[in-house]
Structure 1
């Protein structure tokens, strides 16, 4: 909607964390509508319902809007005139008149309405104070990406039992004011797969099936997009190992950021926990899902689920519930899959991580540069061979791993070239449906 005599322009700007101190400190204003006038007013070209996708933004990004007063003329727009911002601190009036837009939550349409006043609101400047000079709506995908906290409802009598400003029909937790939504990684319907070689720093048989774990993370989010708690779901799939291996996860937060951890399987006696359930003596929060894979496979001996001629042993699902002391910022979700690692043969210092993921405080750093390992901690290079081959993999979705003692370089024919290129070639080397990717006789087929 447009209710203005001016040919206004409309744009947006972004920032993370604290807003810019002044309007001059805004890095860039991106113009959405150079001429926001409609066909009904001022001979514009806009029609009700016209929309522009302004892009994808990292978690934690704040988006502000700006109206450029009467900035459009003869196919051009000027930036030297009056500007009115959704961040009212940048507007010229005294404190009680600084606001130049209203923001309403249109629950039924899952949109937010933004109405602007396009004239200085001080007495004698001509403002009619109707805030309808330009009315636009904003929507996001997912809908929960925009926090509705403290935004009034457009409609009346919207049910919200817990008072968190999220309508009950959109609230995953309608009776819990601390939680409103769930987010997932990799996604609600897709689990990732982690695969490890336990003979690091040596390559060993390099079948990368010594521990194979499927995983999914669920973040419980507040109405303001804070991370209240994290649920990690781990399903052990295989353990083609003669050794006994553990599995843990390092989070990019201080140990004190965690209030409690539950759900782990610890039976081997070498893991020491702090009172809140994280591992003690760590600089970052580390949670150990299990300390001996035998325990989560029913104490089965020998190689597990890596021989096509052998039985299938179902692993015990491990679900960790990690409650945070205070909600973490939205950006925390973007750091998934975090830093998962294997503990080799009950030796706490012998950690195997994904490529270029630093070890935890309890790792034995003297193992770097031994055997086949070509790590260089000084440059951030970790857990790679001279040929750039990893000792652990993170696959989006399911992964058909090699059979026992079948090197992954033989089972997946383009793996070595992918690794040597640093991931620039054969990016779908793991896709078994692509001709020429695999020697299928060397892949494990579950019964």
Structure 2
């Protein structure tokens, strides 16, 4: 035993002695370890996005969304129906001239995008390829400067006679051109007419989003009550429907609502509301167009209308009356393409006056009415196929403006748009800096981003939500993120939604203000499946989206911590830098290169637009300790090609 110990001591002495010789190899310097230069990024940053809604009849702020797959389906009537199972990647408003220019972040696998707008006055769907980091998309070119289309044959509204068994409307306001699809000759051009500068188009998009059902607070029966003698002007804002509808108005003394439309003495307002801007097929729609957006008409009050007399007609509606409107689907007989046939359907603002397709009264409201500043907007649902209440849209203004007040009010100063969408999923290998099994499932976190902004794309608040997934890792890992923002944070709200809970509950998280670090939990296993949400409100709105950098950590007794970030990301100031260049890590601190290694596996990565379904194999406990390339066949070539091939490997 003694001889063995002596021999070991002599060998150690020799080794120690040889290590002092300058000409003996000492191993790699800290900053000279080899590492894979591939950043394992799944994001293409700073993609130039140019969106142009410049060929429509009206230019205004257009709300739009960017998708990586087709966001709509087509109904039997040729209308687009928004899919509820897809999520957007970006959303914004154009400038007032209908143009948008900016930079966005997209998944690296994406080569084509779909631009969707719920705005009734804009083209619903556009498609564009991503070419050299640029997206350029423009709505369909206008073939005429005016939408009204002359016809060889005369056409008229079904509502001027009872030939089809319908109620008869009175064409008392004036004549309209039967050879120009109902172009009216009684247009109003005074100060009560709406213009594109009044902000009504952007307001309508914010308040009634056609990709969703109409808000209940605006949906309902709402005839306008005149509380003082007043003049009333209606302006047609537009439509986006395959139908050629007729729009009429009626009035009655408070408490004397007519029992049906035959007793309402409906007056023809617009014989044809097809403006040629049905975005599903502009070429077909233009052939039936008979009205331009922003066409206005002053309503007339006929005191002797019940006896069929125009005697005493005046522009002043007396106090104590209500004004109602009714839309007759496909009322104009020059139909769009194959969308033909007389329809008994009516959408009225009065309870009990709407009719279904069989001509039977029903009580389900098919109009949405709300006040925006001095304007009252009314949106009609022209059939039973959807609930977006934006098929035909008009606005009304009275003189005096406070003559009609019993309408739900929206505050123009408070009208903002809120969005929330999936950014992607973080996957961490928690044995860093040592070699792991690279199954990339030790901590898996979904990241959602949200914000609230106005039509100028000024961001007032942002939210960052991180959801954890069940795993079988034995280490205790905390979850945090660093917020990179140009805004001055006025207030912050912290909330959590535990697995199985419906709503978020306000809570507290640790916060390090020097670097905007939010420590969401010290151990993700304490509440697996929980969602951690941080919402920040800014003193002044910001113009660019902030960035959240998620990482995992372990606190140490000396106030420092172990941190694991995605490749190349800079650690926080509390990082214990003694871990770098140990084990598999090949960071080059002097060059600010962190969390890199030699080989085809990272210690962590962010998978842009990855869903839970995409990562089902990674989250399956049966695949524990299986390297990521054994689960996803396209992974290896993605790495060896430096990300040029198989960019969507994790979505297959």
TM-score by length of structure 2 reads: 0.35
Higher strand share: 2
Instruction: Please tell me whether Structure 1 or Structure 2 has the larger radius of gyration of its CA atoms.
Output: 2
